[in-house]
Chain A
């Protein structure tokens, strides 16, 4: 298979694994999504999902070690934006069970950790851990471009 267009138009971002840098990642990924005409409200969802995924990678996957890195890959495949957030896998973060819902959380079942993942799964079409390279955790989520109905163009 020769290099498909979606690989050609992907972007990669590598950040220090330190809280605060997720804010810069948000701005970078939002700018990328704007290139691909994602509507503004979907970009807001994307930004929230991305920061939660980064915070997870920083706090859990990389166990708050600032010498480690977080990698972010973004690409468009057809109408879907695919984002992967990869840490260095100091501790595995993939939950064994399906994420708890907010009622269970508030009821004290399970830790509040994982709230971020729950939020992401509600904002995105697909979200979950996939097999990563080199032992890192790879969290992948997708946003399908929604077309404006009847408004303007």
Chain B
């Protein structure tokens, strides 16, 4: 397959928050990577999960479906979920879809960490 690798997913921890960095496009091709990263942080006992977006100029409805899948898991596992780093456009889309009811939307990582501390 010649297609460029459109999404890079990595995980790290900061102040008790499991951060999943998503750099690139979130489309149908992202499913395996995002689910794997989520399972990894969950198996490590994460209670607070932050999806930290970067350079995400393309998220589509297939990508949104993947994120809704994560919300389902987060609810099942009694974790808390937040997102950060989304462009204005995708913040709007997340609100339209209703994802904002299940995941706090923060401008950036710093703000998200502070936000998690408030509810911790």
Question: Which residues does A use to contact B, with CB under 8 Å?
Answer: 34-37, 76
CB-CB under 8 A from B4, the residues of chain A are 34-35, 37
**Extra 8 A-B pairs, beta carbons < 8 Å, given A35-B2, A36-B2:** A34-B4, A35-B3, A35-B4, A36-B3, A37-B2, A37-B3, A37-B4, A76-B2
Bound-state CA distance A104–B99 (Å) is 64
Alpha-carbon distance A115/B3, docked complex (angstroms): 34
Q: List 10 A-B contacts (CB under 8 A).
A: A34-B4, A35-B2, A35-B3, A35-B4, A36-B2, A36-B3, A37-B2, A37-B3, A37-B4, A76-B2
A78 to chain B, nearest CB (A): 11
Question: In the complex, which residues of chain A have a beta carbon less than 8 angstroms from the beta carbon of B3?
Answer: 35-37
Whole-angstrom CA separation of A76 from B1 in the bound complex: 13
- Inside 8 A of B2's CB, which chain A residues have their CB? 35-37, 76
With a CB–CB cut-off of 8 A, which chain B residues contact A37? 2-4
Give the 6 A-B residue pairs with the shortest CB-CB distance, closest first: A37-B4, A36-B2, A37-B2, A35-B3, A34-B4, A37-B3
- Shortest Cβ distance from residue B88 to the other chain A in the assembled complex, whole angstroms: 22
Contact flags B1-44 to A (C-beta < 8 A → 1, else 0):
01110000000000000000000000000000000000000000
User: Nearest-CB distance from A74 to chain B (Å)?
Assistant: 14
- Chain B positions within 8 Å of A34 at CB level: 4
A145 to B2, CA, bound (A): 11
On chain B, the residues within 8 Å of A35 by CB distance are 2-4
Which residue from chain A places its CB closest to the CB of B5 in the assembled complex? Answer: A153
A35 to B5, CA, bound (A): 10
Q: How far is the CB of B4 from chain A (nearest CB, A)?
A: 5
A37 to B4, CA, bound (A): 5
Shortest C-beta distance, B23 to chain A (Å), equals: 14
Q: How far is the CA of A34 from the CA of B3 in the complex (A)?
A: 8
